[in-house]
Amino acid sequence: MSSTSNTSKRIVFTGGSGIAGRHVIAKLLDHGHEILNVDMTPLNNSNVHTLKADLTDGAQALNSLSCHFGISEPFLEPVQTPDAVVHFAGIPQPMRLPDNETFRINTMGSYNIIEAACKLGIKKIILASSITTYGVTYAEGDVPYPHFPLTEESPTHPMDVYATSKVCMERIASSFALRFPGTDIYALRIGAVIEPEKFEEKFRGYLEYPKKWKVHAWSYTDARDLGNMVDCCLQKDGLGFQVFNAVNDEITNAENGGTVGFLRSACPEMEVAESMGQREAPVSNRKMREMLGFREEFGWRKVLWGDE
């Protein structure tokens, strides 16, 4: 039986020094959680200690989930098992490293964290997956989406190494959830993450050149709302393995034809459901709203124009 409780958690957060991670951590601190950051570079946040670790090394991953949350002289309290692991660490897109190294780091880092968490008895694991798993963002050539809206049941057949590593991570997570009953593993398929300081600049591009943004499926994820999404995952227990589209509510343009009209104009060859709302994002976050209780705080119209 699933349950919701508004309680603070002790969280090991991997990859918290990255663009998305630092904003998510800031939001989680606002929600009252205690956090240890595990990353190769420090986080510029005096409230969070960073443990430097290479998570492709299984021993380092295990130690990262079974250590103190900060330096103390002496250590007066025993090591406590964390309540949750939030895994954002990894190579964030292709062409940062050779493909085989991106695949190795992303898949082995994910495997090691999931295995260590399950064997340590940590019952909540939250993973940063991606809407690139739907196969369009880093495709070779102009590849169509299967249909709109994209839901968690839509096919995931990417050809690039980054998205493929995320599909592998989701399958690894599913297998461990079967092997360790009572463990919740939630994979968040995150859209294009927009930081507060880049919001106006990014949406200028979305609004002025809307048909250019097929690669983002005309959807986005506010970095602060991503923190709220992770908090919703932390508060909702008993769902086992789940995948959630982690995007904001609305499509990233303001054309008068609404979502259905725009999609039929931008990509007439694709199937578009008539039931889509006037401003509904083409990547649907309905499952996250209904199962986790997510409510958007930073909708783009509100941020830019003060609209409710």
| CATH number of the domain within which 113 lies | 3.40.50.720
| Residue numbers of the domain that contains 86 | 8-195+220-249+282-298
Contact 219, 159 (CB under 8 A): no
Using a pLDDT cut of 70, give the percent of the chain over it: 98
* Structural domain contains residue 165: yes
Other Cβ atoms within 10 Å of 161 Cβ, number:
23
* Structural domain contains residue 201: no
* Structural domain contains residue 180: yes
Model pLDDT for residues 128-144, shown as the tens digit of each residue: 999 999 999 999 999 99
Chain-centre distance for alpha carbon 9: 19
DSSP class of residue 272 equals B
SS3 letters for 142-170? CCCCCCECECCCCCCCCCCHHHHHHHHHH
Model pLDDT for residues 208-249, shown as the tens digit of each residue: 999 999 999 999 999 999 999 999 999 999 999 999 999 999
For the chain, how many structural domains are there in total? 1
Other Cβ atoms within 10 Å of 290 Cβ, number:
9
Q: With bands split at pLDDT 50, 70 and 90, how would you rate the model's confidence at 303? A: very high
* Structural domain contains residue 214: no
User: The tokens 């019952």 sit on which residue?
Assistant: 123
User: The tokens 């200028």 sit on which residue?
Assistant: 204
* Structural domain contains residue 109: yes
Contact 280, 249 (CB under 8 A): yes
* Structural domain contains residue 212: no
Chain-centre distance for alpha carbon 192: 10
Q: Where are the beta strands (DSSP E) in the chain?
A: 3-4, 10-14, 34-39, 49-52, 84-87, 124-130, 184-190, 193-194, 221-222, 236-237, 241-246
Whole-number average pLDDT of the chain? 96
| pTM for this entry | 0.96
- Farthest CA pair distance, the chain: 66
* Structural domain contains residue 3: no
Contact 21, 12 (CB under 8 A): no
* Structural domain contains residue 270: no
User: Which element (helix H / strand E) includes 21?
Assistant: helix 19-30
Pair of tokens at residue 169? 């991570």
The sign one gets for the Cα dihedral 255, 258, 260, 261 is negative
The amino acid present at 298, given as its one-letter code, is: F
